[in-house]
Every structure is written in C-alpha cells, then in structure tokens.
Structure 1
Amino acid sequence: MNLKRNGALLGVVAVGAMTLAACGSDNNAGSSTVDTSASEASCEGKERLSGAGSSAQKNAMDQFTSSYIAACQQKGVSVNVAYNPSGSGDGRTQFIADQVDFAGSDSAINGEQADLARERCAGNDPWNLPLVFGPVALAYNLDGVDDLVLSGETIAKIFNGGITRWNDPAIAELNPDAALPDEEISPISRSDSSGTTDNFQKYLMAASNGAWTAGAGSDFMGGVGEGAKGSAGVAQAVSSDPGSITYVEISFADQQNLPAAQIDTGSGPVALTLETASKAIEDAAFAGSGTGDMTLDLTSIYGTNEAGAYPLVLATYEIVCSGGYDAETAAAVKSFLTSAANEGQQTLGEQGYVPLPESFREKLDESIAAIG
C-alpha cells in the first residue's frame, strides 16, 4: 500500500532521497524531483549549517538539503547543511552544548534540557518545530484477511497479551465479514530502543480506553511476543511468520508486501493513506498557543476520533533557538527551514513521509519567520 500524492509535480531539480528509516536502522535508496523555482528561501547568512539528531528524519533531511542547495544555486549562492543522524538524545545534547545550529528530535525538548537550551540560546526559549511526519502501519500476516480492522483497544490488548487469538470476539466484532482463523496471534516488537516504539506506546496510552497500562518509552513495555531489530527486521519477521503483526513505518511494510490494518477510532475504519494521515496532522492541537514554539499535543493526534483521520503518525521536530543566534546563523537557519517547510515537502509522500498540510505549513512558516 504505497502512499501516493494526487497530481503531478513539475520538477526542475533531481533530488536524491531515501525511504523512511525508523531511528536510522535502515535506509533504502530512491530519487524524486523537486521544483525549486518559486523558493522563498533568502539564501542569506552563513554558508554552512550544522544539525544532528533524529535518524527517523535523516532521509527527509537529505532531500531538504538537496532542494535547499538547488534553490540557492538558482540565486547564485552556495550553501550546505551537514546533518548527522546520531539519534534524538545526542542531537539535543549537541544543541545544548552549542555544537550544532539545530537538532532533530523524535520528542520535544522540555524540562531540564529546555532550561539548559535556554542558556545556550542566550536566555531565549528553544522552540520545537514539527517538520517531518511519518505514518506507522499495523502490518500483519493473516492468510485470507486483506482488510483487517482494529481499534486502539484491540491493538493494545494484542500487544500486552489481553487478546491472543485472531478470532477473539473483540476482533470479530470489528470484522463481521472476515473469515478470522482460530489462530494464535504473534505480536512482534522492536528489540532495539526506538522512537517508533515510544510513539506507538504513546498512541496506545491515548487510544486504548485504558487497556494499555505499561506506559511509554523507547523500549517495548508490553511484555509479550517476539522482538526483532530495526524496521526492516520487524517487517521481515512478520513476512515470514503467519499470524504475526507489528508496528512499522509504511515503507517497510510495502517492501515486504504486507497489508496494513485499518484503525477504527470510533468513527468507522480508516485506512492508512497519504490523505488520512495528513488529516490527522491538519487537526493537531498544540501543547501551548502554537505560536513560536509548536510542541504538539500528541493526544490530539493519537486520540482523534475525527472521521477519515488515521491517528498513528510519528512526528519529529527541529529544535532551534527562538533568539540568541548571531545574525549570520539566524538568517541561515530561517532560510533553510523555509525551504524545508515548502519545496522540501513536495515529494516526501513518495518516500513514506507525510507532506505538511497547507494549514499546518502556514503556521510553521510563521514560527520560522519569527526566529530572532
């Protein structure tokens, strides 16, 4: 089930890109074309920016960098961005230590780290700007069942051992026309620490009506099933194990030709498509005002019952100083992020990401413009 955009893009710049890799475990080459002719990037400021952190967004960052370089070349300006996919925690640490200009992170910077970042930013608040979104599929291997429907509660019970067989009455109620086998369910989780696991468990906390009590975190807390390393690992494990199910980025499910379960959020089953994942983002709320800092209220995404919105979407941030940069760095950060939030989004849907909806991008553009 490939995510595809409607309509053709008029491309003038070929951009090397990769499919979505969860926390840097796996990369898969691809290519796409981006039109940079209308770029609003100023291409001002210092020539070379540095960033580090989330490897889930590394492949999107490759595209952002390529399209930014191309946009500035059209204006006769040479620029570059060096991004090290060293992991979210390391990215935040390097940002606090003033070793990079921005950090990529699967989680918003907060608490003590935000206080330390404020010192680095000369007393100004650090801002969390959500720039890259990737949908997560419930990929499964169940012969004869192509349109499986699950709910937040049944997903939680599958992954904590509360539901152990595919013909359980709770699953049968959601799938009245399916021939569900009397077969044991084999849940497969990430054996390595993963931002995908953290977000999956946050989703279960928000959407399971209290069925998930194990909490969240980068390590799987459900206590049942088998583990496999990396996104490619869990997808391959499901492909070779009839009766199994996992949570994984859609690109890896596609590679193994695995179907993805629809999720019933209370307003009917919702299939994972570019449009349904985008709708969940479009309706997202913010922990604060959403002006400047754009830390997401993840419950508004994960707990949505909006008709046609697919809720299981991984959000990753760029962490920047709202002020306190020197003038050259501030100009370059704003220029790069402007490019990334606009032309940089054009072909992300072809690579397993969700391009930003228009209304969301407008809010992001306002925050980027306000960086001092």
Structure 2
Amino acid sequence: MTQTQPERALRTPPERRPRTVTADGGATLHLFGRFGLPMLLVLVVALFSFWKPASFFAWSNFNATFAQQAIIVMVALGAMVPLIVGEFDLSIGANAGFAAILTVGLSELQGLPPWLAILLAVAASAVIGLLNGLIITRLRVNSFVATLGTATAIGGIGQLYTDQRDIQSVPPELLTIGRATFAGLPITVIVAVVVAALLAVVLQLLPIGRQLLAVGANRKAAELTGIRPELRIVTAFVMGGVIAGIGGALYGANLGAAGNQTGATLLLPAFAGAFLGSTTITPGRYNVLGTLVAVLLLAFTVSGLEQVGVQPWIEAVVQGFALIAAVGFSSWAIRRRTQLMRNAQLALLAAQDTAAPTPKEPA
C-alpha cells in the first residue's frame, strides 16, 4: 500500500539538529557554570599547598578550617532556605547569635542541663523563624523590612538577657559537648554534614522540598497546582530558624562564651556562601552542595592569604566582594537559564510544526 506524503511526514521523525556549541548555548560554558566553583576550590587549595606546604597543606590546618566553617555552613544553609522561596531572612545571623547566648546563658546563669539548654535555644530560633514567616505572610510586610526589624529586636532582647555584657564562662559539661570529636573530626563538623545531607534529601526527594522549590520558581503557578505558598513560606522560615539555631547553639557550646555581637559576624559570610553557592552545581538555583563548596572556597582563600602575610582585614574584603560577585553571577545564571528554556521551547514548537502533516486542499 502506497503511503501519501502527509502519512510519511507523520511516520518520519523530524531531522535532528546536531548539538553544537552554538546550538546549545555553549557546552564548555555550561560545564564551567556548573563546576567552575569546585574547580576553583581545588585550584586554591593546590596553590596555597604548593606555596605554604608546611602550614597550609597540613591536616591540622584543614581540621581547624572545617571546625571554624561548620557554624558558617549551618547559618548559610539557614539563610538559603528562605531564599529558595524568594524571601530574605536578614535576621538569620542575629537568630544564630541569640541561640548561642541562650545556650550559654541557660547553662551558666540558670543552671539548666546542657542538652536542655541547647534544645531550648533551638526551639527559640524556630519560634523566631515562625514569627518572621507570619509577619511576612499575614501582615504583608516585605521580608527585608520584617527580618531587619526582627534582627534589631533580637539584639535588644539578647542585651536585656545578658544585662548588656558578654558571658565568659560555661559549665564544663557544655564544653564537653561543644568540643567533642568523633573519628578525629569535631562534633560541629559532623553535625553540619548531617544537617546538610538531611536538607538536601528534603529539597530533592520529599514533596515539601519540591513544593518549596516550586514556590520559589513561580508562586502563582505553584498556587494553581494546589500548593499553599504562604504556608510554604512560613515553613521555609521555620526550617531556616531551626538550622541557624543548631549552628548558633553549637557555636556557644564550642566557644564556651557568648557575646551580643556574634550575630553580626555571622550574617555576611552566611549570605556570601548562599549566594555564591547558587552559581554552581545547579546555576541559578540555591542548592546545598553549592553552598558547602562556596563556604569552603572563601574559607581556604582567606586562610591561605593570611598565611602568606596578608593582614586579617582581607577576610571582610573577600567576603564582601564575593557577595557582590555572587549576586551578579546568580542573576546572570537565572537569566541564562530562562533564555535557554525559552529557546528550547521555541525549538520544540518549530520541530512540531515541521513534523505536522500539511492538510489536503479540497478537490
């Protein structure tokens, strides 16, 4: 039986266009966009290891860096969760600092058992996250304004609790928890890895994680699918508060002291890590692995520069410029992803038009 031309058009797949550098937006650019930051981390570690092998390329240096940055990682992950749903939490540093104050204060001033003090501090951080979420969703206050106001209020409450002084001593039992080690690694590092792994599982495998990502991608579209955006925004702030609370509580337990300026020192590196992390692994999206890589890159860069003789002020400079560069690259990655998706949709429509049969004209 002879096939007509329209029938052959239906059976014959459209000609595939070869994937060239021009057609797909640049395979090399795509690869560098995804893995450029991890490669840069390897390069930085290799450079300073060759430059200062005795001090930089030593397990004691790596171990100390991991221990110091574990708290930053948790606060950065806490800041990342609200960013996923398109909101900012400028109180995340103050929240973590308040958890440190409560952990130390409840143990030293009120004499509570260390584990109970830690749990109460994390619970307080969760309540702060809940308040942030409710203020933003119920009172319709911009997240910048709401969380900035919350951060200021937290600072005042912390000063009231400590009578405007730093707490310089803690019970030995709390120090034992904060400075414990397992398999040669500080407990803070282990907890940070566990928290990061759990958050990655939640975001990638559980429905609530996919709903958070959907709200951040397109709030109106998410609502049309049955997702309640306001509830997920509140959830994101609570999750961020809990993660930051864990980091702050362990920070106080490890340091054995707490000050009212702790929150301010945690805010900038946390946001620098979260924004810089969104430029790698899955560019244009906030992701756990990218945040880990970004925090370590900044930490090893600062550590290496200090070991070659640069003064400690370099840390603030690196973090500040990293935050600016990260926001710029993140915005570019989002625009790039949107453009590629639009091009792919147009190419698909063009291919469908090419494959569609031409209607016969009536005789």
Give 1 or 2: higher strand fraction.
1
Rg: which structure is higher? 2
Give 1 or 2: higher helix fraction.
2
TM-score by length of 1: 0.23
Q: Which has the higher contact order (CA 8 A, sep 6+)?
A: 2
TM-score by length of 2: 0.23
